[in-house]
Amino acid sequence: MERFVEITNTVSNNFEPKARSLYEIGIILSKVYELSNQIKWNTFDPFDNSDSFISIDRTTIERNIHEINTISVKGIYTVASKALEMSIIEIDMYNNFYLSGLDVNEQIGLEPVLAGRMRATTKYLIEITSQGLLLTKKQKIIEELNNIQDVSGKIIYLEKQLILFKQRSSFIDLNQFKELIKFIKLEIKNQKLNIKNFNHIKFNNNSELSTFISNVIKEELSHNIRYQEGYKNFWRDESCTQPKKEIEIQQYISTILKSSCEKVGIKISREPTCANGSIDINFTYLNFCVCLEVKKADHQEIESSIRNQLITYMNGERTDYGILLVLWYKSEYGFSYPSKFTSTEQLKNTLLEQIPNNYKIDIIIVDCSKPTSPSKIKS
């Protein structure tokens, strides 16, 4: 097994821990399995189940190895421990003993030593591979949940997974099965709790939808920027002198808003094509829609962006409601633009004048400048 040789060659002399992926651990476990089937032990069987405390199930090893080879696990789960490095050398020793052609029965006193060490190593590898597969399965469930927009869809997915794992219970080791069922049931409970907490929120028109989204921006996004170091997502440098482009921070903005919107059934989409362009972020609930355009305060077309872009997208989506989210970077230090406006209030008043009478557009300006440290605030 060439890959096992490569892994062995990476072990340091002092067994310094290295991050081993679940895929690599599977290769190591496969080598143990291979050797256990080849070496003709006299009185020892590493899969002897007579002692329940240290029993090793051959089928569990086979299933773990199979799952590792079929599931996408690279980069998700790793183990770094001195014990694992020492296990690799132990297995290499077993391998060299087997390749030497010596009969274990002829080595007086050697059989029980090698037997005990091999069993302990096998037991350890089974435990970390089972744990790795468990965490990987949980991660895949979480990733799939994040791709489902509405809460009811999440519950349906989880219930299907619950049935699937119960059907496959005889093909999963008992500890994994118990933990997965417990995890899925807890997720279902959490999702149902979300519905219970928010089922009183229903949007009857575009106005109610727009008001909710505006409040989420003002409460969730602004709070994250000012008090949870979210401002760092808007700058290229730690000194906050080089702001990023609008398109670079759209993902961050949509991520912050996504959780609150999905809980009440609002679908949030980034850059959907519309009117020969793309809306920065689009919010839909049933047949209601609100368009959001993101603009830096120092953008040269900030004043005309409402008429030239946002309203065009709104017309394309057949909605009268939109939001212009303006990113304000200007501060007493670091960044001095827009030079034309001295305050967010002045800029907002100017932008409000650009809104035609038959459109309902909310102007929201968020301060993205680096907050002053509480220790430096003068009383």
Residue 348 domain boundaries: 206-376
Question: According to the per-residue pLDDT averaged within each range, which of 118-122, 127-131, 319-323 is highest?
Answer: 319-323
pLDDT at residue 260 is higher than 90 = no
Please indicate, yes or no, whether residues 143 and 236 belong to a single structural domain of this protein.
no
Mean pLDDT of 57-73: 73
**Segment among 14-28, 102-116, 195-209 with least mean pLDDT:** 102-116
Please indicate, yes or no, whether residues 365 and 249 belong to a single structural domain of this protein.
yes
Q: What's the pLDDT band for 196 if we cut at 50, 70, 90? A: low
d(Cα 355, Cα 350) in Å, to the nearest integer? 10
Mean pLDDT of 287-296: 93
Question: According to the per-residue pLDDT averaged within each range, which of 117-131, 161-175, 250-264 is highest?
Answer: 250-264
Please indicate, yes or no, whether residues 236 and 341 belong to a single structural domain of this protein.
yes
Please indicate, yes or no, whether residues 125 and 214 belong to a single structural domain of this protein.
no
User: Which has the higher per-residue pLDDT, 98 or 200?
Assistant: 98
Backbone angles phi, psi at 288, to 5 degrees: -95, 150
Provide the CATH number for the domain around residue 291: 3.40.91
In sign, the C-alpha dihedral spanning 300, 305, 308, 313 is positive
Q: What's the pLDDT band for 164 if we cut at 50, 70, 90? A: confident
Please indicate, yes or no, whether residues 360 and 211 belong to a single structural domain of this protein.
yes
Please indicate, yes or no, whether residues 82 and 214 belong to a single structural domain of this protein.
no
Q: What's the pLDDT band for 375 if we cut at 50, 70, 90? A: very low
pLDDT at residue 357 is higher than 70 = yes
The residues near 193 (Cβ < 8 Å, ≥ 6 apart) are: none
- pLDDT-above-90 percentage for the chain: 21
Question: According to the per-residue pLDDT averaged within each range, which of 4-8, 81-85, 143-147, 349-353 is highest?
Answer: 349-353
Q: What's the pLDDT band for 30 if we cut at 50, 70, 90? A: confident
Which region holds residue 285: left if phi is over 0, alpha if psi is between -120 and 50, else beta?
A: beta
d(Cα 99, Cα 212) in Å, to the nearest integer? 71
Structural domain tally of the chain?
A: 2
Q: Is residue 49 situated within a structural domain?
A: yes
Whole-number CA gyration radius for the chain: 30
pLDDT value of position 65: 81
Q: Give the model confidence (pLDDT) of 207-250 as tens digits.
A: 999 999 999 999 889 888 888 888 888 998 888 888 888 888 88
pLDDT at residue 102 is higher than 70 = no
Please indicate, yes or no, whether residues 368 and 256 belong to a single structural domain of this protein.
yes
Please indicate, yes or no, whether residues 217 and 290 belong to a single structural domain of this protein.
yes
pLDDT value of position 36: 72
Is residue 154 within 8 Å of 148, Cβ to Cβ? yes
pLDDT value of position 110: 56
Please indicate, yes or no, whether residues 287 and 355 belong to a single structural domain of this protein.
yes
d(Cα 306, Cα 308) in Å, to the nearest integer? 6
User: Which has the higher per-residue pLDDT, 370 or 101?
Assistant: 370
d(Cα 286, Cα 151) in Å, to the nearest integer? 14
Q: Is residue 173 situated within a structural domain?
A: no
Q: Is residue 282 situated within a structural domain?
A: yes
Please indicate, yes or no, whether residues 124 and 230 belong to a single structural domain of this protein.
no
pLDDT value of position 47: 55
Q: What's the pLDDT band for 324 if we cut at 50, 70, 90? A: very high
Structure tokens at 218: 């003002």
Question: According to the per-residue pLDDT averaged within each range, which of 261-270, 302-311, 329-338 is highest?
Answer: 302-311
- pLDDT-above-70 percentage for the chain: 82
Please indicate, yes or no, whether residues 128 and 226 belong to a single structural domain of this protein.
no
Please indicate, yes or no, whether residues 348 and 225 belong to a single structural domain of this protein.
yes
pLDDT at residue 25 is higher than 90 = no
Q: Is residue 184 situated within a structural domain?
A: no
pLDDT at residue 100 is higher than 80 = no
Q: Is residue 69 situated within a structural domain?
A: yes
Helix ranges (DSSP H) in the chain: 2-9, 22-38, 58-70, 82-99, 110-147, 151-167, 174-198, 206-216, 222-227, 246-263, 305, 311-316, 344-352
d(Cα 57, Cα 55) in Å, to the nearest integer? 7
Strand pairing of 288-296 and 321-328?
parallel
Mean pLDDT of 142-170: 81
pLDDT value of position 5: 87
pLDDT value of position 197: 57
Q: Is residue 161 situated within a structural domain?
A: no
User: Of 109, 132, 147, which residue is a domain's last?
Assistant: 147
User: Of 147, 164, 187, which residue is a domain's last?
Assistant: 147
Mean pLDDT over all residues of the chain? 81
Question: According to the per-residue pLDDT averaged within each range, which of 11-25, 40-54, 200-214, 290-304 is highest?
Answer: 290-304
pLDDT value of position 55: 47
